[in-house]
Amino acid sequence: MKPLKFSQFGIMSVGYQQYSLEYCFDSIADSGLKYVDFWGGATHYCAFDTPMDKRQTKVQHIRKMLDDRNLKMSVFTAEQLCLYPINVASSNPYVRKNSIDIVKNYIEDTKEFGANYFFAQMGYGMFDEDTDLARGRAIEALKETTEYAEKLGVRMVMEQLQMYESNICYDRETLKTLIEAVDSPYLTACIDCVAAAAAGETVEDYYQTFGNINHVHLADGTPTGHLVPGDGSNPLQDYIRTLEKNEFSGSITLEINNQIYFDDPDSATRKAIKWLLENPLIEDDR
């Protein structure tokens, strides 16, 4: 059994969305974490708040901000869920093409950021349309974007979501269907522990299904909520033991993504760090 190490953990910047990016990166750096899972949404950085002719300059600026704080981007998680007008599985040809083009730009950004992964999303279909048709559009889009990522040498991970986020991929079997259809080493599985709990699944189930997991989203919940570890009732210690049993050596994102923390994300981060450092299953290798 290989213990998880503190150095494997990072935090998603989504919790800081109502603060400046400078505040966000300073807080994460001060916490002792080395990884940032960079959430690509307004107002920090996304396709809708940065003009195309300013994009490269903005990306380079963000990369310098990270370097200056000795931080590394584990994943670029560009916002693509149903609250955004990005949907690679859309039945509207214009929306779908525009979405794929935006994702390709984000893949280019991932390379410039020096991130380990781009976080792929499968999009979603309308609940009153044929889900198989929407899933087919998602697979075509994922094949196209994965092929583009492969040309750039950018690896991608993709997780299962909750039904309200995507009716195309909401458990390990639907995630497996998509990844196997794309059939590329550049698109591999991530597990979202909260979404797994919501679906009645365990981390062990994902190892049984995929054989290997490349990235993990860890948070607490009841079972949902994406709460600070310790603020919910999900079996986080069981998740960690399973990762250790399988000698997981990848990166782990603390996905603290709940509005109850948005007014004071720094306190939420410090509380999560305290949980990590006091956890007997996690090795403090600072």
The continuous run of DSSP H or E covering 196 comes out as helix 193-198
The predicted-structure confidence for 232-253, as pLDDT tens digits, reads as follows 999 999 999 999 999 999 999 9
Average pLDDT over residues 149-155: 98
The pLDDT value recorded for residue 130 is 96
Average pLDDT over residues 22-29: 98
Average pLDDT over residues 165-193: 97
Band the pLDDT of 133: cuts 50, 70, 90. very high
The predicted-structure confidence for 30-40, as pLDDT tens digits, reads as follows 999 999 999 99
The pLDDT value recorded for residue 43 is 87
Nearest Cα to 160, choosing from 192, 119, 204, 207? Answer: 192
Band the pLDDT of 281: cuts 50, 70, 90. very high
What is the rounded distance in angstroms from the CA atom of residue 52 to the CA atom of residue 49?
10
Band the pLDDT of 185: cuts 50, 70, 90. very high
Q: Is the pLDDT assigned to residue 151 strictly greater than 90?
A: yes
Q: Is the pLDDT assigned to residue 82 strictly greater than 80?
A: no
pTM of the predicted protein model: 0.96
| Cβ 107 vs Cβ 66: under 8 Å | no
Nearest Cα to 113, choosing from 162, 161, 74? Answer: 74
Contacts of 196 (CB under 8 A, 6+ apart): 160, 172, 202, 203, 205, 206
Average pLDDT over residues 160-171: 94
Average pLDDT over residues 245-266: 97
The predicted-structure confidence for 267-279, as pLDDT tens digits, reads as follows 999 999 999 999 9
Task: Give the mean pLDDT of the chain.
Answer: 97
Band the pLDDT of 158: cuts 50, 70, 90. very high
Band the pLDDT of 55: cuts 50, 70, 90. very high
CA dist 70 to 10, 28, 34, 111, 274, Å? 13, 10, 7, 18, 21
Q: Is the pLDDT assigned to residue 83 strictly greater than 80?
A: no
